[in-house]
Amino acid sequence: MTQAIALSLTVPPVLSKTDEIALTDLYVRGTPANTLRAYERDLIYLTAWKGIRLKQGLNWPETESTALSFLLDHARDLRDADLGDPARVTAETLIKAGLRKSLTCPAPSTLDRRIASWRAFHRMRNLNSPFEAPLIRQARTKARRAAARPHTPKSARPITREVLEALLEACGSSLRGVRDRAILAVGWASGGRRRSEIVGFRCEDVSLEDFEKQGLIWLNMVETKTTQQGRTPRLVLKGRAARLLVAWIDAGGIGDGPLFRAISKADRPLARGLSPDAIYQILKRRLQQAGLPENYATPHGLRSGFLTQAALDGAPIQAAMRLSLHRSALQAQRYYDDVEITENPATDLLE
C-alpha cells in the first residue's frame, strides 16, 4: 500500500535520505488505509494507461494534453468506437490485463477518483496538477453530466431488522457462529459499519465499563471514510447487540489485538484479524443458511438496512446519522426516500 506514496513523492534535494524516508512514512501513517489502497490501484492503472496509450511513463508535472486525452478516453462508450481507435485499443489491452472491466464509459465517480489520485500525486511532489487548467476543469464538468447515471444502491437489498433476525438465527452455536452473530449485530446496530471499519476494531476500542450496570458498550473508532483521525465520535451499543459482542469476547477469550479474528477448522480463535473480504464471505454463507440467495445483499446492506429500518421506525434522520456518521444529510436521505410510501410512519399520524 505504500508504493503509490513512495513512487509519487519527490522530496526537496536539501533533505537527507533519512528525512526522505521519514517524510514518506509520515504520508503513509497520515493517510487512511482505504485511501492508500485506492492510491495503489490508481497508480497502477494510470501508469498502464499512459504506457499503452502514449508509450510513455508518467511525467511530473503531467502535461495538459495527456490529462485531456485521459479525460476524453474515459468520457465515452468505446463499444461504438472504431476497432483501430487508440482509446479502444488501449481499453481492450487494459481489460486483458485485468485493469478495466469493459469498454463502456466508466462511472463518473470512478473517473473522479482516479483524477483525484493523480492530483494528489502532484501535491505530494509540490507540483501543480494539469487538471486545474480551465479547459480541463470545464471538460470534466461536461463529462460528468454526459455520463450521469441514476443512483444505484451498493447492495441489492437493505438488511432490515427482519432479514437480520434470520441471519442471526442461522449462525448456530459454534464459536464461529458466536463470532458471526456478533459481527452482524455490531455492524448493523452501531450505525451500519463498513467492512473495513468492522475488521478494524481492536479490543482497546471496546469499553465495557458501563456494561454491567447499564448494558452499554462504547466503541472508539480512529477514523472512518467520512471522519478525520481522532475526530470520530464514540459509538454506543446496547441491548442484544451489546450482549452478543460480550458473548463473543468471552467465548473467544479475546483480550487484546483484533476484535474479530479468524477461526481455525477446530473452531478455535486465531491471532490474526479478518480481512474486509471475509465479511462478504460470512454474509454470503449466512444468507444461504437463512434460505436466501447468496447475492440477496452485500455487506453494504448492513449500512443501508440500518438507515432503512430507522426510517421505517420513524427515527429522525439526524439521530440515525449520529450513528451512521454520514457526512451528507442528502446521502442519508436516499435511504429514507427508498422506504415505500405506504410504510412511512408519517402516514399513520391520524391513527
Q: Checking DSSP bridges between strand 216-219 and strand 206-207, what pairing results, if any?
A: antiparallel
**Bond prior to 61 in cis (omega within 30° of 0):** yes
Please give the Cα distance from 25 to 5 (Å, whole number): 9
Can you give the pLDDT at residue 330?
75
Give the pLDDT of residue 88: 94
CB-based contacts of 25, cutoff 8 Å, min separation 6 = none
Residue-wise pLDDT for 99-126, tens only, equals 999 998 888 888 889 999 999 888 887 8
CA–CA dist 268, 225 (Å, integer):
32
What pLDDT was estimated at residue 1? 47
d(C-alpha 345, C-alpha 313), whole Å: 7
C-alpha cell at 189: 446496530
Cα–Cα nearest to 77, from 98, 91, 97:
91
Query: What does the pLDDT look like over 221-242, one tens digit per residue?
Result: 766 555 555 556 788 889 999 9
pLDDT digits (tens, 9 = 90+) for 252-292: 999 889 999 999 989 899 999 999 999 999 999 999 999 99
Alpha carbon distance 222, 234 (integer Å): 10
- The identity of residue 191, as a single letter, is G
| Model confidence pTM above 0.85 | no
**pLDDT of 345:** 63
Give the whole-angstrom CA distance, residue 30 versus residue 28.
5
As given in the structure block, the three cell numbers for residue 274 are 479478518
Cβ 113 vs Cβ 42: under 8 Å: yes
Q: What is the mean pLDDT of each run of 10 residues along the chain (351 residues)?
A: 56 64 76 80 93 92 93 90 93 94 87 90 86 90 75 72 94 93 94 90 90 89 58 81 94 91 91 92 95 91 90 84 80 70 59 60
> What's the rounded Cα separation, in Å, for the pair 49 and 269?
44
Domain ranges of the chain: 3-146, 161-348
The fraction of the chain above a pLDDT of 70, given in percent, is: 85
The pLDDT value recorded for residue 4 is 58
**Distance of alpha carbon 148 from alpha carbon 140, whole angstroms:** 12
CATH of domain 161-348: 1.10.443.10
